Structure 1
Amino acid sequence: MSHLNEMFAKIAENNDEIISAYAARRAVDDARKQATRRTDQRAFRAQLREMPPFRRTTGPAPQHRLRATLRASLNDAIAQQIITFNRAAHVELDPAKRPKALVWTTERVEQWQRTGEKPSPVMVWTPDQTGDFLDLVHEDRLYARYHLIAFRGLRRGEACGLRWADVDLNAKTATVATQLVLEGWEVEEGDPKTSSGARVIALDGETVKVLRAHKAQQAAEKLKWGEAWIDTGRVFTEADGTLLHSGKVSEAFEKIVRTSDLPPVRLHDLRHGAATLALAGGADLKTVQEMLDHSSITITSDIYTSVLPEVAHRAAEAAAQLVPRRSTGTDGHTSGTHDARDGSALLLVANPGNEKRPGQTR
């Protein structure tokens, strides 16, 4: 038991070290970007090379998965009578709560402008804000990548790892069969995140147009680079065809948002925005679950219970219209009849004159 507690304590200690090292690295890199003399920039680059490489922290969710794996393994050992007590089942960890996705409403934007605080770690742009962002980056050479994530909800690594061989623009589909992952700060190819494997994503007409334009642009870049072009077969690459670095992709996105008038979101939040837009467009949770490749519809429901305000209002109005009532006067008291949108779907019927219904006693 003490060994397991020590292990998770060490994980927490490592997380603190990673966070401190990352903050120090960012400070040096920011200083490098602000330096005007080349000698200073070279000195900062040399300092960065001497610093520890970037590593990801092990958050609550991975720790819970680690404990679950240990618990399952020890349960097998108990079944085989190798041990008699499962110590992993009694290790206490902080709850792995998924933050709710909140929309940047006018009130939340105003509060953020006053205080600088985000209401939730997961914030979603409204359709207007998403449109403003896409207009802002429309001339970016990798605009299609932002467009695809914003509308179809690909993960960062999935978008960076998407292959032309898995895209059928005539059939309007894209198959997510691989992704690019970071091992430390190095880019490697990996399998899709969940065990369900490859998934097929339907593409709308506008996204197909954007991808066709991007493909033509990439062909022009390939022609320009000639033999120096690196053919990785990826949809989104550097100008010379080499693989994108997903960490730098996030940094570029954050810089664009930081220098704009838009409220802050992470690149991953564009994926959340795509789910919200799909729900606003009338998609059910099962469709959104499959689009995002969530392992359970419960995950989709837990994250996206907060939908766009206008969608919630439409649902409220629709619900109010379903119940037939006598018309409501200005004083709020019932005084007449109220038409329902679809009377054939109603189980309640009006009973004028307080007539006796079959089986009813006065």
Structure 2
Amino acid sequence: MTRVRNPEGALTKRCTCTDPDSGKRLGSRCPKLRRPGGGWHPTHGMWGYQLELPARPTQARRQLRRSGFDNRDTASAELRHARTLLDLADGDQDLAVEVADLLHACRPGTPLPDRDTLAARIRAGVPAAVPTTTGDYLTTWLQGRRGLAEKTIRGYSDHIRLYLIPHLGKIPLQSLRTGHIEAMFTAIGNQQDAIRAARASTDPAVRATVKGVRPMEASSTQRLYATLRKALNDAVVRAKLIPANPALGVELPTAKRPKARVWTAKAVEHWQATGKRPSPVMVWTPTQAGRFLDHTQRHDIVLYAMYLLILHRGLRRGEACGLRDHDVDLDSRHLTIVEQITTVGYTPITRPVKSDAGDRTIPLGPKTTSALRDYIKMRRRWQTVNGDQWPDTGLFFVRPDGQPWHPQTISDRFDHLIATSGLPPVRLHDLRHCAASYLRHGGADMKEVQETLGHSTLGLTSDTYTSIILDLERGNADAAADLIPRNAA
């Protein structure tokens, strides 16, 4: 016999010699496979092995058969490797069949799966019998995330659904390379360039094709990259599905915070002629801010106090919506920021403020306090009109029917007020920039501005929220010139 049996399967040795009479291959029956003394011939024939594989009840008996090994030790080592892969099932018959499916599908000449990689797939709960695509992994990874804010989960989900799966989803995770990821970001960049070109087109039909579509800026691209990098890092460290993170070699343009610019007379003139803003972040001069508050007081008294508070004290939109009655102390002239109402998609979510620095107490000046007192008087009249139908929300700012404000409604009504006021446009969030600038140039130091706005670092405040209001700084414009003596008239 030319077959050596062992407890883990059977080793075989065959050759390609043919029977001179029938022309059929002799295989394991070739007499040349053995030496005259009975030992194996060292060069004639090739070694192989066969191994019984677990089968489903509806399947016939099946075997893993591999051949083409130059020596017995190599064939024996792979046979032992195949057995260690089956042992990963640890008595789980269904899992054993899955592993057997994976082994049975291995093409001749290709290596068997790596044990550690397969073990990681099993621990991660991904199918053992099929290659894990990047899309399958990302979906499983998202489902396993715990302890994250709903907005964070929504951001991960949107990134995976809108970008990562369409571009990378079909690539096996183990085959994902830096080049694939770079190609994805190149394609996304080209798409965003096309959106910007269409938005700037002089053809109304072309502009209509991208109506309501906002191109992805560098900061959004960086957030997308951060999602992918985190997911793949978990595939390396936690699931051990891949040896290294291919996203680490990708270079993207740095996302710079846009500088706030002031709506000077020249900037307003340019905007009126072209419709373009000097910067995505714009700051009103104090005069312009006063015009906005006067316009709001006349045309939207319901939200006047909220907008005034944001402009005076730099609250975020969600912080104003989530401000609670018992957090506002007008007698002591201060308020405490603890909760906020934000949105996930369009759904309002009440949650704590975003950081320890955001949980803060803010002093109120006499003008702000007076406006808030007037608002409370107006709210009491609303409550009287509604009677028993008035809900007890515990919120400070509510609609005339007592219900909470939806954050998007606050932004929409703000935009409408600007459109009807004739003022140059700013975003609702830009009122924080206004408040920071007015505080700074009114004499507050950077630490006070930081604490008022609820920033975690002084650098964030300095880099992002302070602007030069030219009208207030003009007194020092000639400071250098005044020091230089001149003889000419």
- Superposition TM-score, scaled by structure 2 size: 0.53
Alignment match, 1:124:
283
Task: Say whether 1:242 aligns with 2:403.
Answer: yes
Which whole-Å CA distance do the structure 2 matches of 1:232 and 1:11 have between them?
44
Task: Say whether 1:301 aligns with 2:459.
Answer: no
Q: Which amino acid aligns with 2:311?
A: A
Q: Which amino acid aligns with 1:135?
A: D
Computed over aligned residues only, the root mean square deviation of the Cα atoms, in angstroms, reads 3.5
Alignment match, 2:274:
115
Q: 2:342 aligns with which of 177, 181, 187?
A: 181
Offset of residue 306 of structure 1:
3.1
Any gaps of 5 or more consecutive residues in structure 2?
1-176, 197-211
| Structural mapping, 1:48-67, within 5 Å | 60-61=218-219, 63-65=221-223, 67=225
Q: Are residues 156 and 81 of structure 1, via their aligned partners in 2, closer, same or farther at CA, if it must alter by over 3 Å?
A: closer
Which whole-Å CA distance do the structure 2 matches of 1:121 and 1:302 have between them?
15
Q: Are residues 226 and 57 of structure 1, via their aligned partners in 2, closer, same or farther at CA, if it must alter by over 3 Å?
A: farther
Alignment match, 1:99:
258
Offset of residue 219 of structure 1:
1.4
Alignment match, 2:94:
none
Q: 2:452 aligns with which of 270, 291, 305?
A: 291
Alignment match, 1:165:
326
Q: 1:90 aligns with which of 219, 240, 249?
A: 249
Which whole-Å CA distance do the structure 2 matches of 1:273 and 1:89 have between them?
38
Which whole-Å CA distance do the structure 1 matches of 2:394 and 2:418 have between them?
29
Q: Are residues 175 and 320 of structure 1, via their aligned partners in 2, closer, same or farther at CA, if it must alter by over 3 Å?
A: farther
Offset of residue 81 of structure 1:
11
| Structural mapping, 1:278-357, within 5 Å | 278-304=439-465, 306-316=467-477, 328=485, 331=488
Q: Which amino acid aligns with 1:276?
A: S
Q: Which amino acid aligns with 2:488?
A: D
Any gaps of 5 or more consecutive residues in structure 1?
20-53, 333-362
| Contact in 1 for aligned 2:436/2:466 (Cα 8 Å) | no
Which whole-Å CA distance do the structure 2 matches of 1:265 and 1:330 have between them?
47
Q: Which amino acid aligns with 1:331?
A: A
Task: Say whether 1:215 aligns with 2:376.
Answer: yes
Which whole-Å CA distance do the structure 1 matches of 2:302 and 2:378 have between them?
8
Deviation per CA, 1:275-324: give whole Å up to 9, x if none.
11101101122221221122322222222453100333234456778x7x
Q: Are residues 60 and 221 of structure 1, via their aligned partners in 2, closer, same or farther at CA, if it must alter by over 3 Å?
A: same
Q: Are residues 4 and 261 of structure 1, via their aligned partners in 2, closer, same or farther at CA, if it must alter by over 3 Å?
A: same
Q: Which amino acid aligns with 1:255?
A: H
| Contact in 1 for aligned 2:322/2:339 (Cα 8 Å) | yes
Q: Which amino acid aligns with 1:114?
A: A
- Residue range with higher mean Cα deviation, 110-119 or 125-134: 110-119
Which whole-Å CA distance do the structure 1 matches of 2:271 and 2:213 have between them?
30
Deviation per CA, 1:66-89: give whole Å up to 9, x if none.
645765787788789956534332
Which whole-Å CA distance do the structure 2 matches of 1:10 and 1:156 have between them?
34
Q: Are residues 77 and 58 of structure 1, via their aligned partners in 2, closer, same or farther at CA, if it must alter by over 3 Å?
A: same
| Contact in 1 for aligned 2:306/2:320 (Cα 8 Å) | yes
Offset of residue 231 of structure 1:
1.6
Q: In terms of Rg, which structure is larger? A: 2
Alignment match, 1:351:
none
Deviation per CA, 1:210-237: give whole Å up to 9, x if none.
1111111111111110111112111111
- Superposition TM-score, scaled by structure 1 size: 0.70
Identity %: 45
Q: Which has the higher contact order (CA 8 A, sep 6+)?
A: 1
Q: Are residues 73 and 195 of structure 1, via their aligned partners in 2, closer, same or farther at CA, if it must alter by over 3 Å?
A: farther
SS for the counterpart of 1:267 is: coil
SS for the counterpart of 2:349 is: strand
Q: Are residues 259 and 241 of structure 1, via their aligned partners in 2, closer, same or farther at CA, if it must alter by over 3 Å?
A: same
The structure that is strand-richer by fraction is: 2
Which whole-Å CA distance do the structure 2 matches of 1:14 and 1:246 have between them?
30
**Count of equivalent residues:** 293
Q: Which amino acid aligns with 2:334?
A: T
Q: Which amino acid aligns with 1:64?
A: Q
| Contact in 1 for aligned 2:319/2:340 (Cα 8 Å) | yes
Which whole-Å CA distance do the structure 2 matches of 1:293 and 1:308 have between them?
22
Which whole-Å CA distance do the structure 1 matches of 2:487 and 2:391 have between them?
71
Alignment match, 1:352:
none
Offset of residue 105 of structure 1:
0.6
